[in-house]
Amino acid sequence: MLSRVADSLYWMSRYMERSDSILRMLRINYAYSQDDIPEFTWQAALKIFSFQKDEEISKIERNGREVLHYMVLEKENPNAVFNLITQSRENARSVQDHITKELWQCLNEFYHLMREQRLAASLKTEDPMSVLDGLIKQGMLYYGTVEITMARSEGFYYMNVGKYLERAMQAVNILDVKFSEQDYNLDGTHDPIYWRYLLLSISGYELFLRSYRSTLEPRNIIDQIIWNENFPRSILYAVIRLQRAFEKLDMDPQLESFQKLTFLIGKLKSHVQFSDMQTLETEGLHNYLQNLKNELFHIGTAFNHYYFAYD
């Protein structure tokens, strides 16, 4: 497969995963902001998911509608869903002969939906939750289309590498946002509504109730989001899938590129797998998350260097 094509498939997939995470994050934060929280602020979310300067953030952090506009439609914001979808579709456009026609049409429709005037208006005046739900659904259509139409060949596995790398990164981000609001205190707020929304946003609420029954306690939340292997949005799940997708690429084991990536991914996996609540308490949650972020970043760079570099 052409390096450029692998690169485009990888980024198409990463951007889609990222837009899904951001839409879900916006949805919970917005829902939570409606729950009579007098000092609710979007500061943490904006800090992690946008590249705004602090003074810019402080201008809009208490205005939910403006934040939504900024994160969904603002063309100046590289992480706005609008730009993510546009990028994803541009990538798809340049590799149309490597994805199915259905997948291309699905992304293309999503793109045209994002450009509709109506979307901006309804995000401003109507119920934002329904608008966000509509967009999330469009994203799920993408996942389904990939699942049932794409051949299981090299391109598909590069898409999976991108998807799971991004998902692991976003899981780290979500934990980071939510716990930074609590000063990374593992024994902090027990406000059940706060944690409930977090779990709902990543479709983990039902699983949580089944696994932990009782209280919405921060330690249980962390346990599920980092270590629950059966939870498709946990860090461990994403890392295991990342490793599997990489193995499926079926590269020559003699090559330096293969050995380097095998090492980096294996190291990350054991780092996650062989740590526990105790590790967090000694390292501190913030440091632990920061280390994971760095490792994920290194893996991304290594793919770029060894597999996608064609210039």
Partner 1 sequence: MDSSSLLNQYPITSEVWDEMCAAGQVRAPYNNVYEFLKEISPEDLTRKEEMARRLFMNQGITFTVYSSGEGIEKIFPFDVIPRIITAIEWDFIEKGIKQRLKALNLFLKDVYHQQFILKDGIIPIEMIYSCPHYLREMHELNVPHDVYVHIAGIDIIRDADGQFYVLEDNLRTPSGVSYMLENREITKRIFPDLLPQNYVRTVMQYPQLLYKNLASLSPRHIANPNIVLLTPGIYNSAYFEHTTLARLMGIELVEGRDLVVHNHRVYTKTTGGLQQVDVIYRRVDDEFLDPLVFNPNGLLGVAGLMSAYRKGNVAIVNAPGNGVADDKAIYTFVPAMIRYYLNEEPILKNVPTYQLNNPEERQHVFDNMANMVIKKTNESGGYGMLIGSAATEKEMEDFKAAILNNPREFIAQPIISLSSAPCYLNGRLQPRRIDLRPFALCGPNGIEIVPGGLTRVALREGSLVVNSSQGGGSKDTWILSK
How far apart are the C-alpha atoms of 20 and 201, rounded to whole Å? 11
CB of 86 to partner 1, least distance (A): 9
CB of 97 to partner 1, least distance (A): 4
How far apart are the C-alpha atoms of 270 and 293, rounded to whole Å? 15
- Stretch binding partner 1 (CB under 8 A), from 19-27, 121-129, 208-216, 248-256: 248-256
CB of 280 to partner 1, least distance (A): 37
Our finding on whether 53 is near partner 1 (CB under 8 A) is no
Per-residue binding letters, 139-158, with partner 1 (x by CB under 8 A): ---------------x---x
φ and ψ of 306, to 5 deg? -90, -30
CB of 128 to partner 1, least distance (A): 25
Whole-angstrom CA distances from 228 to 112, 211, 217, 225 are 37, 10, 15, 6
Cβ atoms 224, 217 nearer than 8 A = no
For residue 39, give every residue at least 6 positions away whose Cβ sits within 8 Å of its Cβ, in sequence order, or none. Answer: none
Which amino acid appears at position 242 of this protein? L
Single out the residue of 6, 168, 238, 272 in contact with partner 1 (rule: CB under 8 A): 6
Our finding on whether 30 is near partner 1 (CB under 8 A) is no
Give whichever of 297 and 310 is closer to partner 1, judged by the CB atom: 310
Our finding on whether 310 is near partner 1 (CB under 8 A) is yes
CB of 15 to partner 1, least distance (A): 16
Our finding on whether 187 is near partner 1 (CB under 8 A) is no
How far apart are the C-alpha atoms of 277 and 186, rounded to whole Å? 10
Single out the residue of 65, 112, 137, 305 in contact with partner 1 (rule: CB under 8 A): 112
Our finding on whether 94 is near partner 1 (CB under 8 A) is yes
Give whichever of 154 and 283 is closer to partner 1, judged by the CB atom: 154
Q: Quick one: tokens of 212?
A: 């932990």
Give whichever of 158 and 195 is closer to partner 1, judged by the CB atom: 158
For residue 115, give every residue at least 6 positions away whose Cβ sits within 8 Å of its Cβ, in sequence order, or none. Answer: none
Q: Hey, what long-range contacts does 182-186 have (CB within 8 A, 24 or more apart)? A: 182/218, 184/284, 184/285, 184/286, 185/218, 186/218, 186/219, 186/222, 186/280, 186/281, 186/285
**Interface residue list for partner 1 (CB under 8 A):** 1-4, 6, 75, 90, 93-97, 101, 104-105, 108-109, 112, 154, 158, 249, 251-252, 307, 310-311
